[in-house]
Chain A
């Protein structure tokens, strides 16, 4: 177990290093002269050159990459000239809000998707199953911004129950302190996640329901409900652990559109604005964070699986 964790940490570091290299290289290709981007098109070439020299942007690529890594080691993600703030500070202000929004939505989604998927599997090919499947596919296939707009149209403009814009409070706990204004962003995120997870949960449960131990359980005198509760649920949850690990960064990415639609000041909105203003240091940091989250999500899922599934041994 211990040596496995060490090994996995080692490989994770290599992957993260790869992510930094690729994203840094891409940025370097897109914006080889940050001075021009920062100072604007009116600035004289001399001023741009002076800026690049001053900040080391005229050095060879590998040297620039080296100093980027060095800064990373000191938790320096760069400086946003557009917002006049260090990227670490920017992330610090916004990450909390996104994290709370995402976690709350994810947990609500799991509480809906898991029982729903299992119920669908048990009552497969029933009207309920077909209805849920249709709704899930429609939701999943819909672009998230469109879903957001539909929700705004219905709940805000027509029914007037919830505001169209999310709370602008800077507190990360705004989901709990101002649930009404956060209802629509949460609702959209939950809908998208449930659509995906319930499909997975349904097929995972179907795989388990055909397993011989279900019949053995019935032969013991358990009712079908008892077999499902005592034996099927836990086994059907196992594939979902990996899925949650893998979709951790995806939820963040999907969140980008939702935050923009509802104008919720989180990491996603920051990324969106940075994209518009070509604020490269922020974009680079966002790519890196997504990469790191992917690695962490997979790693956490693998470790969690060893606790949940006695068949898996880490070596």
Chain B
């Protein structure tokens, strides 16, 4: 793969091309037509995009960012139509283009990549046929020629052995590979504009970093313009030249990426940036959070749509709608009372560097200081462990054994994890999807039996408890789920959901339980009137609050929270994280927070465990692990996090952890990470590295750690 274009050059080229933009959207409005009324969805959207340039469109769900992309594609959902403005693409007006002409344009000159999902590709057609389809359609190629073009493109997007993959079906590929296939499909006809709508949202950080890099490279190679639609400020910071921030169907602020981040003017952009937990956030301070929830798509009111959640709102904001002031094309924002113009803020954190030495005998030196110099912010080692895992294992058999003597293959989800979590502590468990972290969490709350090893709750082994004993002790072990919509029974009201654990554990009279439900609602910040609501009547953030309240209902000793904020919008995420920390302080609950999002874990956890393919590769306080990672995998994961600061993001090296998670059916010998490790030596394949001490509570399992072990 060719090296990335240095940012400076990219910006320079951008300036040249803004003279003749590939895409120019002017005062675009779209709405849902209902009889004679039109419910506005997009209001007065203005965009410009030059060849070779990447424009980031960032916003929360319902902000209209995807609708903007779909409007350009002419693929607005049924009932939604463009009500005004113009979309000019290379001189052609698209807003009133005939459908037949649009079909000739789509997939050829303008292509789109969507978020990866299992149904993003047709499940019953081979990859080859699907990638070749636009070539057959637009370039008039025959089947064979189109397939060879597909092979070429699959190679270009980094699919290994592309010719062999032509006959594969989508379900046979991993999420990362499927997304590469989607990109190949979009690029077959070498479009001049690529719209990428949340292209990496469903992927792990390590894969996300690789895909974003790939898109950057391809944009340079093909000289395309790219519209990158995302909710992630970090992605925008590192991969775009210009940003449009959307809220309530309008662009509220747009500027050069660097300028937008450093001299933020719109209160929404500022609040959004403030609510993102970052690796360098001060953990003792609560995250800024934006009260309330973003408006639903199509909600429309007089005045600024952000006014209700804005700390700088004035009476005027509720009466008059601010318009994007295009007087300064370099930086435009729609606000009556913008943030004061500031000088650029102080520099962000120093990115971690990973130095690669081929000489096995020499100790590896990293640019970061040794662990001993970092003071431990938290010390809870004095209290006894509430939860202790001893050599915990979980293996799932693949199918049943039909003939005696034949070995049954197993998925090794968790392979010997030992750790202790102390009372009042928050232990964060991170790792890529498929690393076994959720299985581990389910074993801790006794929803899954261990294949070997033990889970001890205050010293007593869960697997040795009698049925009745375990049933009684379950009140101490509660689980909080990711998807609050699926985890709340749609037929139960909030109060029924909250009272159910109390009923099952036979706690208190009916009146006591009603009182407890009221208390819980007060605690999580929902009005008592919410008790009679059904889950579908609540917003995502409110449902997740109910999910937390349900976990808290029995005053458990331990709450395992599996991806508690992953399904939520950025501005809601910080509300829930703050709430979780507040309730923990009040009750002294022990949390085990499982997440793929390292910034979330960094913010909420006192100690952290990094899992890779069923084993714990590194543990320590969050400062120890994040500031001085010892394991190359941890360092790679941290490096892959998109940082919401363009200066840091631009300086970042290319993805350190390459490739994808190997199969947990046949994990690699020795160190499981060696197949993806830039530092791997022969020894890594032969000997499984034990956990070694790195000072304080810091432990890591690596033969060639990035910092020196203690003794």
Segment of B83-91, B120-128, B279-287, B379-387 engaged in the interface with chain A: B120-128
- When the two chains form the complex, which single residue of A3, A220, A315 contacts B106, counting CB atoms closer than 8 Å? A220
- When the two chains form the complex, which single residue of B120, B122, B123, B138 contacts A221, counting CB atoms closer than 8 Å? B138
A212 surroundings in chain B (CB, below 8 A): 114, 117, 119-120
- Chain A 24-45: CB-based contact to B (< 8 A → 1; otherwise 0): 0000000000000000000000
Given contacts A212-B120, A231-B122, A310-B124, contact A223 B114 (CB under 8 A): no
A234 surroundings in chain B (CB, below 8 A): 124
- Chain A 254-287: CB-based contact to B (< 8 A → 1; otherwise 0): 0000000000000000000000000000000000
B108 surroundings in chain A (CB, below 8 A): 221
Interface flag for A156 (CB, 8 Å): no
How far, in whole Å, are A218 and B182 apart by their CA atoms in the complex? 13
B134 surroundings in chain A (CB, below 8 A): 220-221
B402 in contact with A311 (CB, 8 Å): no
- Chain A 209-236: CB-based contact to B (< 8 A → 1; otherwise 0): 0011101111111110000001100110
Given contacts A212-B114, A311-B171, contact A219 B73 (CB under 8 A): yes
B229 CB → nearest A CB, Å: 13
Q: Name the interface residues of B80-112: CB closer than 8 Å to any CB of A.
A: 99-100, 103-108, 111-112
Q: How large is the interface on A (under 10, 10 to 19, 20 to 34, 35 or more residues)?
A: 20 to 34
- When the two chains form the complex, which single residue of A215, A216, A235 contacts B124, counting CB atoms closer than 8 Å? A235
A311 in contact with B114 (CB, 8 Å): no
- Chain A 196-215: CB-based contact to B (< 8 A → 1; otherwise 0): 00000000000000011101
A126 CB → nearest B CB, Å: 12
How far, in whole Å, are A53 and B310 apart by their CA atoms in the complex? 96
Closest to B100 in A: A223
B117 surroundings in chain A (CB, below 8 A): 212
How far, in whole Å, are A230 and B122 apart by their CA atoms in the complex? 10
How far, in whole Å, are A231 and B399 apart by their CA atoms in the complex? 32
A220 in contact with B123 (CB, 8 Å): no
Given contacts A212-B114, A212-B117, A310-B169, contact A218 B75 (CB under 8 A): yes
A220 in contact with B185 (CB, 8 Å): yes
Interface flag for B133 (CB, 8 Å): yes
How far, in whole Å, are A310 and B104 apart by their CA atoms in the complex? 31
Best-surrounded residue of A212, A222, A234, A235 (most CB of chain B within 10 A): A212
Interface flag for B137 (CB, 8 Å): yes
B104 surroundings in chain A (CB, below 8 A): 221
A252 CB → nearest B CB, Å: 31
Given contacts A310-B169, A311-B169, contact A219 B112 (CB under 8 A): yes
B120 surroundings in chain A (CB, below 8 A): 212-213, 216
Q: Name the interface residues of A77-91: CB closer than 8 Å to any CB of B.
A: none
Given contacts A212-B120, A213-B119, contact A310 B112 (CB under 8 A): no
Best-surrounded residue of A218, A222, A230, A309 (most CB of chain B within 10 A): A218
- When the two chains form the complex, which single residue of B100, B105, B123, B182 contacts A216, counting CB atoms closer than 8 Å? B182
How far, in whole Å, are A39 and B399 apart by their CA atoms in the complex? 57
Best-surrounded residue of A221, A235, A238 (most CB of chain B within 10 A): A221
Interface flag for A308 (CB, 8 Å): yes
B119 CB → nearest A CB, Å: 4
A311 surroundings in chain B (CB, below 8 A): 123-124, 169, 171
A307 CB → nearest B CB, Å: 11
How far, in whole Å, are A291 and B133 apart by their CA atoms in the complex? 46
How far, in whole Å, are A308 and B125 apart by their CA atoms in the complex? 10
Interface residues of B (CB under 8 A from A): 73, 75, 99-100, 103-108, 111-112, 114, 117, 119-125, 133-134, 137-138, 169, 171, 182, 185-186, 399, 402
User: Given contacts A219-B107, A310-B124, could you give 6 more A-B pairs where the C-beta distance is less than 8 Å?
Assistant: A216-B120, A216-B121, A217-B122, A220-B111, A222-B137, A310-B123
6 A-B Cβ contacts within 8 A?
Answer: A213-B122, A217-B133, A219-B106, A219-B112, A222-B137, A238-B124
Interchain residue pairs A-B with the least CB separation, the first 6: A221-B107, A220-B107, A211-B119, A221-B106, A219-B112, A310-B169
